[in-house]
Chain A
């Protein structure tokens, strides 16, 4: 039987490509969560809104993000390790600049920093909150916040809003509390903290694919066998299955993997992984799980190149030592002294729950 919202989701998927968070949207449609946030290019907003309404959803716009180049030096960037943009107010009447459609203008050209925004670039992105009702979207928006720098001052939001936002996004409260306690990049590695308290590694709690098209859960669980997360995840997968059985099967396959992770910005899947005496792991090839991330760690490509050249690795003293047929090729050093507490770990979500890098 054809369900009306399915074709709308198909359209959204077509429009957004690999960047579309299918499972998150389906979570809202199915009522598992009140809302999600997303970024939509301003040139796509109109069509997006049409498809969204057909899917029974609505949205509220927070503001417009104009992404900064990776190398842009701005005050406060250490407070923004993953998302760096200039925020512009959303004004419905403002036009999209035709002059910039072919990329002729650079990002300084639109009265940045003033209230008189005359033009949006087609690639500017609206930060939006999607929900089933306007009220739910507005409620979520009232507690959503990215650190913002205004006149060289970093504005954060009060911590209580993180709890409210977590609730609105449907995340288990235990995971929200864990996030608040441990998501402190210079001092803690949240994945390592979650791995420490996990008794097993359940693929349904594997959030490390969240920057790929095969994501299921987006939140970082308080443990990789968190019961609340497993319940939530199973329901989410069921919603995906209702939408597309084959897609759900593929997500499941993609989450049952072995992953090398050093930080939220350095995540790689090891294909055909085989653990050797709980000390090292053989693999046939490597895949970046950050390929779609715009602001990648500058060492990402070095990591990838060395891992791709090898077929075995071990972790010792905060270093990933890569070998090829028993011969050392080189090492990838993780650091915890400059802004990000990196801790290299290999986590097996294929059933063995093996963990390398945690003693």
Chain B
């Protein structure tokens, strides 16, 4: 059983700062490997699209990057975002279904990196940018940007020879930029101008959100934002500053939400991960709350997100796990614990009291499966992993699977129609109804025949009873379904999928009280449920 996990200063601030820098370096090395894998896969599996979008050519050119250039390249948050997006588009099959939509733009956008890295190639290099009416092109590894005003959508060609970058392409002569002194470049009438990207103690500050946001920029004055961020950074103590610098590579504006939530809440709490997905090394600061502690908490979140990439808990990636929420809980609660260790806290609207924070953290940790990875994760966060006792009997664990028996497989139920059992109180899980989905692919007449053939046998295994119950559900034989789920429960009474399918089968028989008892009141007792059923309908065998 877990003991109290209230905040404890068991990791010195200086040690945390060192750990932040160390793990950031590891993360960036891993990013390089992920980039290489993605690039090779795209060129191999999507060769036509890669060629058509110019990605293949850009990828070849990228291999000419110097070692120092490569080190700088992986430090840029934009590359982490690009790799992450590639992985998600591939995982969701978007490259196969909609190659000419987001994937085409995504591959073309790799061209933005080449010009950004142009001063890190040994020889001359050149390429093409597809702005699609976007405004900025970053150069010098993000230290400066070329702003296009007015915006335009046509392709822009560029070339870099001996440190001189020439860029243009829509009629006018273009811009010549000396990459050793880019800010000395004179603006031209064709709308190109070079501007610096300011830094605060080595951290780049993007004063508008356009580079990293899916929402329009807020009406925040860039100069004002920079000044407020600078003041906040300068207010940090030495260990806090070391932690921030060991984590963040860049800071940008986070557009405020369209709808302001209730009093006392800040946008740090709001569920907008889809609009502002985490990008390694990038702190998105809300203009309505710029403070040393807010910066520190964002840095702590970034640190934990990296930890979760390096030591991903099994729960986060399991197919029946609702991992995103577990991750979110670990990040938000863990970050506040880290902030307290670093001596921050107290001026954030999201600051929790000790009890609430302790409860949240305990809840998150208890959901982690006991494993070497979870232990490593907790150690890296400065938590003592032995605070969490072994939980082999924890109710939330996933244990056990069932596979379709041969009699169903010959009918066309795929072998992968496996039930992954989830247990009572398995928070962050979703019901695994994949066997139902698979069974629906079998023609109803064949299902019916098989149900009739099997239903009077009496040598039931848990497996055969379950798949028969599923088939009965699919063909609308709900009393039979109830009967065979009751069998399953007699084999293993703690499988949420059994209970939930039972609930739905009872609902089809208009047994609403029994349905509510199972689904909403957590009743997991067959005799109790059967008493709520007016007409037995499958419960004949229950004592």
Contact residues of A with B, CB < 8 Å?
Answer: 69-79, 89, 106, 115, 138, 142-143, 148, 150-161, 163-164, 186-189, 192, 298-299, 301-302, 305, 316-319, 321-322, 327-331, 333-344, 357, 359
Give which listed residue, A73, A156, A333, contacts B433 with CB less than 8 A: A156
Within 8 A of A (CB), among B128-168: 130, 132-134, 150-153
Looking at A70, A71, A77, A161, the one whose CB has the most chain B CB atoms below 10 A away is A71
Chain A residues contacting B474 (CB-CB under 8 Å) are 160
Q: Cβ of B101 and Cβ of A336 under 8 Å apart?
A: yes
Q: Cβ of A143 and Cβ of B274 under 8 Å apart?
A: no
Complexed CA–CA distance, A106 and B261 (Å): 12
Per-position binary interface string of chain B over residues 258-285, scored 1 when its CB falls under 8 Å from any chain A CB and 0 otherwise: 1111100101011111110100000000
B521 interface residue (CB < 8 Å to A): yes
Complexed CA–CA distance, A188 and B97 (Å): 8
Complexed CA–CA distance, A254 and B92 (Å): 35
B431 interface residue (CB < 8 Å to A): yes
Chain B residues contacting A164 (CB-CB under 8 Å) are 476
Complexed CA–CA distance, A188 and B520 (Å): 31
* Cβ of A335 to closest chain B Cβ, rounded Å: 6
Q: Cβ of A158 and Cβ of B105 under 8 Å apart?
A: no
Per-position binary interface string of chain B over residues 234-274, scored 1 when its CB falls under 8 Å from any chain A CB and 0 otherwise: 00000000000000000000000111111001010111111
Q: Cβ of A342 and Cβ of B102 under 8 Å apart?
A: yes
Q: Cβ of B271 and Cβ of A341 under 8 Å apart?
A: no
Per-position binary interface string of chain B over residues 309-325, scored 1 when its CB falls under 8 Å from any chain A CB and 0 otherwise: 00000000000001011
Q: Cβ of A298 and Cβ of B102 under 8 Å apart?
A: no
Chain B residues contacting A106 (CB-CB under 8 Å) are 262
Assuming the contacts A301-B258, A338-B277, asked whether A331 and B132 have C-beta atoms less than 8 A apart, the reply is: yes
19 further contact pairs, Cβ within 8 A, besides A154-B429, A154-B431, A187-B94:
A69-B259, A71-B260, A78-B324, A142-B507, A152-B325, A152-B427, A152-B428, A154-B430, A156-B431, A158-B501, A159-B433, A302-B215, A318-B100, A322-B133, A328-B151, A336-B98, A336-B103, A337-B277, A341-B94
Assuming the contacts A330-B151, A341-B92, asked whether A319 and B105 have C-beta atoms less than 8 A apart, the reply is: yes
Chain B residues contacting A321 (CB-CB under 8 Å) are 132-133, 153
Q: Cβ of A318 and Cβ of B104 under 8 Å apart?
A: yes
10 CB-based A-B contacts, threshold 8 Å: A71-B267, A71-B271, A160-B473, A298-B258, A317-B102, A328-B133, A328-B151, A333-B132, A334-B102, A336-B92
Q: Cβ of B516 and Cβ of A153 under 8 Å apart?
A: no
Chain B residues contacting A115 (CB-CB under 8 Å) are 521
- State the total of A-B contacts with C-beta under 8 angstroms: 189
Give which listed residue, A76, A159, A187, A305, contacts B437 with CB less than 8 A: A159
Q: Cβ of B94 and Cβ of A317 under 8 Å apart?
A: no
Q: Cβ of B98 and Cβ of A341 under 8 Å apart?
A: yes
* Cβ of A82 to closest chain B Cβ, rounded Å: 13
* Cβ of B64 to closest chain A Cβ, rounded Å: 26
Give which listed residue, B152, B214, B428, contacts A299 with CB less than 8 A: B214
The residue of chain A having its C-beta at the shortest distance from the C-beta of B152 within the complex is: A328
Q: Cβ of A331 and Cβ of B275 under 8 Å apart?
A: no
B89 interface residue (CB < 8 Å to A): yes
Give which listed residue, B88, B262, B425, B508, contacts A337 with CB less than 8 A: B88
Give which listed residue, A318, A322, A331, contacts B101 with CB less than 8 A: A318
The residue of chain A having its C-beta at the shortest distance from the C-beta of B515 within the complex is: A142
Q: Cβ of A189 and Cβ of B261 under 8 Å apart?
A: no
Chain A residues contacting B476 (CB-CB under 8 Å) are 164
Per-position binary interface string of chain B over residues 468-488, scored 1 when its CB falls under 8 Å from any chain A CB and 0 otherwise: 000001101000000000000
Q: Cβ of B504 and Cβ of A150 under 8 Å apart?
A: no
* Cβ of B56 to closest chain A Cβ, rounded Å: 16
Chain B residues contacting A76 (CB-CB under 8 Å) are 322, 325
Assuming the contacts A317-B104, A343-B98, asked whether A187 and B93 have C-beta atoms less than 8 A apart, the reply is: yes
Q: Cβ of A89 and Cβ of B520 under 8 Å apart?
A: yes
Within 8 A of A (CB), among B481-521: 496, 500-501, 504, 507-508, 510, 516, 519-521
Assuming the contacts A151-B427, A155-B431, A333-B214, asked whether A89 and B516 have C-beta atoms less than 8 A apart, the reply is: yes
Complexed CA–CA distance, A75 and B330 (Å): 13
Q: Cβ of A153 and Cβ of B429 under 8 Å apart?
A: yes
Chain B residues contacting A317 (CB-CB under 8 Å) are 100-102, 104-105, 108, 130, 132
The residue of chain B having its C-beta at the shortest distance from the C-beta of A182 within the complex is: B97
Give which listed residue, A75, A143, A298, contacts B428 with CB less than 8 A: A75
Complexed CA–CA distance, A142 and B507 (Å): 6
The 6 closest A-B pairs by CB, nearest first: A152-B427, A317-B105, A318-B101, A331-B133, A73-B271, A318-B102
